[in-house]
Structure 1
Amino acid sequence: MKISKEVKTGILVLLGIVLFIFGFNYLKGQNLLSSSLTIYTSYNNVEGLVPSTPVTINGLQVGKVTSIGFKGDGSGILQIELSVDSDFKFSKNSKAELYETGLIGGKAIAIIPAFDGAENAQKNDFLEGSVKPGLTALVNQRLTPLQEKIEIMMVGADSLLNNINEVFDEKTKANLRASFAGLNDVIQNFKNTSNSLNSLMASNEEKLNNTLANVDNISSNLNKTTSQLANANLEETIKNLESTIQNFNNISNKIKNGEGSIGKLLEDDGLYNNLEGASLQLEQLLEDMKLNPKRYVHFSLFGKKPKHYDAEGNEIETKD
């Protein structure tokens, strides 16, 4: 059967139209030969997101962004159409997270699957959209409070510098210069003193060595003395001392109780009175001997008889 030129031309035109439609949809990220799952999500701002941007699950690309447009309700919210080619099943409660792929790599969408036992996502289902803060947003979050603190610090530093300029007037500066000059003199004097001290130590090095040797000997002798004291039988000495103190206490108690000669002498009032009387009489006797020595001592070269006196010192006449 012979095919006419018109039929061949129609077939070629139809094939061209089919190839054009297929290629156009392929360039848009749609594969007409695959059973892809079309789902939707929405964001307030999708800066950096373009059609054909990859859609991933756990880092694996499973589809593409097919279209981006306004939702059409006057809210300004952007609706994103996603085409998922994978057979991986996930819940309709999963989220579509918008994230940055890098510093200059634009943005992509990651499906965060939810395994909550709910119904699997079907064609034309709507997933809740979320935005993951990127590096730029995190840097801005950190830099904003830091910038505020730097501004406050700069204001404080400016005030401090102004106060310093007010304090350090010409008079204060002159005083500081004079103080530094005086400090230089002090340092020079200290240096001279140090040199003098070095000279003194150098000239008396032998004496210092002898002194240190003597100190070393004294320390050695002290160590020996300490060792001897440590090795001495201090315990026995202390016991003997305690025994002596106990004996002394016993003697003291006996004297206090009137026992023994010393105790009776101290505690017996009669003995004390007798001794006091005897002492008085002895004192009177000595006084009388001084006043009337002839009454007690008599010398006679010619054989005279001694005279006799009474208790009051009167001479008593005696018969021959």
Structure 2
Amino acid sequence: MKIAISREVKTAVLVLLSIGMLIWGYTFLNGKNIFSSSRTFFVEYDNVEGLSTASSVTINGMVVGKVHHISLKGQGKLLVEIVMTDKVDIPISSKAVIYSPDLIGGKQIALQINYNDPTLAKSGDYLQSGQMAGLIDDLGQRVDPIAKKLDSVLYNVNILVQTINKTLDPAAQKNLQEALAKLNATMGNANAITGKFDRIVSSNEAKISNIVSDFNTTSKNLSAFSNDLDKIQLQKLQDILNKFDNAASSLDKMMSDANSGKGNIGKLMKEEQLYNNLESATKELNSLLEDVKLNPRRYINISVFGKKAQPYAEPVKQ
């Protein structure tokens, strides 16, 4: 037998399901899933700026839980309740650090696990707290000193300008203005020249590239020619050294033969009789040449009438 369900019952069931889904969605958005087993931990902070309900709780970047509730405790302390949805063992000495994951988003809690601690935290325990400076906070800490120095520089510049204005008379101020105007014009001309130079380079880029290429080719050819020239000069120098070495060897052999009495030079140096004969022959030859010079008719006598030749007489040395 088919049971008829009235429209009122269907409406009531639908309303109850809607209420249940609304409650589940609200608790889920608040970081707690009523259909899953979870553990709750508490952390005390001095400042939770940027942290909100449903903020993620991570371990090495992986989401393992949510922030369920934030409440104000005595003496300005803030109590944060986190719900762990992942079954991860959390040692009691682990630290819950608030940090900024990026520049735009809010803050999260990173659990720094102490794996050397064997004692595990139970649901309801308190974990140690900590805070890490975010990118914006770190940037602000770096910018603040620079901003202070910049304020000091601007203040000094302002004082310098005021002093110059008070010191310079109207004529000097006018000259300074003219100098600045000329400097501005010079800078404008320099910019114009730079622009023209850029246009010239752009319009002749192909020619410049060819010139550079030709220069590289010429440089390579000169390098090769220099290497060949070095080889030729070295070969010539080696030939000259070889000839000099051969000449030195020949001279050394000739001197050795002369010292040992070999050859004409050796005999001349070693045989005294040959030397004396040569010296005597040289003296007689000199005497003969001198007599020919003094009495040429004695040796060359041409006479039509047949004049009698005079006998030879040794010339008298003066």
TM band (smaller chain):
0.3 to 0.5
Q: Calculate the TM-score normalised by the size of structure 2.
A: 0.47
TM-score (norm 1): 0.47
Q: Which has the larger radius of gyration?
A: 1
